[in-house]
A and B are shown apart, each in its own frame.
Chain A
């Protein structure tokens, strides 16, 4: 398995690391001895044809599934011991392949629901609207609106999330994830269903937030164009295992990668 320009970082310095991660579903091995590490501040891509196990990896990292084998480290902490709702507190946020917005709530409320995580006020204050309620709500609202401006949805703040055009829903999910002030952002197929123009502006957005929010981002995509264009570090997988890792140039010409994608029609 090619590692190209990215030798495995030693455990001490790795920001985010998978080591020998394996997950089985019944008789199917969805992820097989997956190992890679990502340094702080990287913008990395996880590529592979449909069904390669990419989303399963995100689910394992965020505690939706339990690991069968292997370990996942984030900032040197073993994530396997955490429950799903504790993952956010450690600084990890994600978006979902199938979009999981709160459809009935407004665009603004979706983001506020995430933003409130870092603006605590007590239950009693919430019930009486005294104390820190007013200042807390103001802060949550302002932070959320700022994020909506960032992704270009500020004018749709009061619209029901479910009524947004598809491309905007994806942006909303990104805004919502950003509201958690994450250090590691996991984007699951953010360009799915978008046309070429939308993918371009998404690329711009991802590059911008990577820079402006000092994030480490791991993007899953099975479309080559998005990942190749913006990710200097790419991990490619197929049938649950890593088949290549390196820069876009190295990946593009890698025989295993070509074999995996040959015969797969690019849906554009």
Chain B
């Protein structure tokens, strides 16, 4: 029983980190209707900036974290400006954006391979990982609770941003119909930059937590595929869906790892993707985007 509760908390914790990544990815998808495969790159950038500032400047986690978020956000905006905007302005073939995003993902990952080396790096222990006893029912680590809480805080902040600010409203309108939002006077390019900044920042938070959990290495971004799957399960383009899908995925992974085998984790994730596409392709909350004919 204790193991079950432990794995559930593990799963929710992992799921909440996936949620941070999946939400950013779904946010971009809802506006531009393409899968930004470079999203994992922002995660890695966030992780390395945090590591770098912690190590080199010895700053506390709060400042390092903030710098990492800003850095990843800026990197995301630059990616959009340099790689996606020129394509977007010339053509509406999303295949080109997909290919470019894949290219960017590889470029970012390999820049780190070359510059930082493929070593696994452990972040300085600034995030507590001490075991915590939950009312005698189970033991979990402070880290799991912290990542859960942080995810809630950041996602809550995002929710406030989207529902209570002018730009949030603009983003929601653009998610519904980008061209109309533009015609209504929204500065579309600026809006897209803001969306990418937010997505990058969220990915960075996820990256920091993941680098504590799994250590930091250039291919850490590959874990984003699970966030993609979570987003599909929840419904591409739906932010609540991304969160729910991520939690489901995290739980499924941890329960599989705990009760079946660790190797089967990824197979379970993949199977969940295929099952979703077979049974309910639009996901739990997804709206099917219909083209104007």
A interface with B by C-beta (< 8 Å):
55, 59, 64, 96, 98
Chain B neighbourhood of A96, CB < 8 A: 293
| Chain B: number of interface residues, binned into ranges | under 10
Q: Chain A binding site: helix, strand, loop or mixed by DSSP?
A: loop
The CA of A64 and the CA of B288, in the complex, are separated in Å by 13
Chain A neighbourhood of B293, CB < 8 A: 55, 59, 64, 96, 98
Look across to chain B and name the residue whose beta carbon is closest to the beta carbon of A188: B293
CB proximity of B169 to chain A, nearest CB, Å: 19
Look across to chain A and name the residue whose beta carbon is closest to the beta carbon of B291: A64
Look across to chain B and name the residue whose beta carbon is closest to the beta carbon of A97: B293
Chain B neighbourhood of A59, CB < 8 A: 293
The CA of A96 and the CA of B292, in the complex, are separated in Å by 11
B interface with A by C-beta (< 8 Å):
292-293
Cβ-Cβ contact count across A and B, 8 Å cutoff = 6
> Top 6 A-B pairs ranked by shortest CB distance?
A64-B293, A59-B293, A96-B293, A55-B293, A98-B292, A98-B293
Look across to chain B and name the residue whose beta carbon is closest to the beta carbon of A64: B293
Chain A neighbourhood of B292, CB < 8 A: 98
The CA of A98 and the CA of B291, in the complex, are separated in Å by 12
The CA of A98 and the CA of B292, in the complex, are separated in Å by 9
The CA of A136 and the CA of B73, in the complex, are separated in Å by 57
The CA of A96 and the CA of B293, in the complex, are separated in Å by 7
The CA of A64 and the CA of B293, in the complex, are separated in Å by 8
Sample (6) of A-B pairs whose CB atoms are under 8 Å apart: A55-B293, A59-B293, A64-B293, A96-B293, A98-B292, A98-B293
CB proximity of B90 to chain A, nearest CB, Å: 13
CB proximity of B261 to chain A, nearest CB, Å: 43
The CA of A59 and the CA of B292, in the complex, are separated in Å by 10
CB proximity of A40 to chain B, nearest CB, Å: 26
CB proximity of A148 to chain B, nearest CB, Å: 25
The CA of A5 and the CA of B31, in the complex, are separated in Å by 50
CB proximity of B144 to chain A, nearest CB, Å: 41
Chain B neighbourhood of A55, CB < 8 A: 293
The CA of A64 and the CA of B292, in the complex, are separated in Å by 10
CB proximity of B255 to chain A, nearest CB, Å: 38
CB proximity of B97 to chain A, nearest CB, Å: 17
The CA of A194 and the CA of B61, in the complex, are separated in Å by 64
CB proximity of B157 to chain A, nearest CB, Å: 30
The CA of A58 and the CA of B116, in the complex, are separated in Å by 59
CB proximity of B10 to chain A, nearest CB, Å: 41
Chain B neighbourhood of A98, CB < 8 A: 292-293
Look across to chain B and name the residue whose beta carbon is closest to the beta carbon of A56: B293
The CA of A55 and the CA of B293, in the complex, are separated in Å by 8
The CA of A98 and the CA of B179, in the complex, are separated in Å by 16
Chain B neighbourhood of A64, CB < 8 A: 293
CB proximity of B93 to chain A, nearest CB, Å: 10
The CA of A200 and the CA of B101, in the complex, are separated in Å by 48
The CA of A55 and the CA of B292, in the complex, are separated in Å by 10
Look across to chain B and name the residue whose beta carbon is closest to the beta carbon of A25: B290
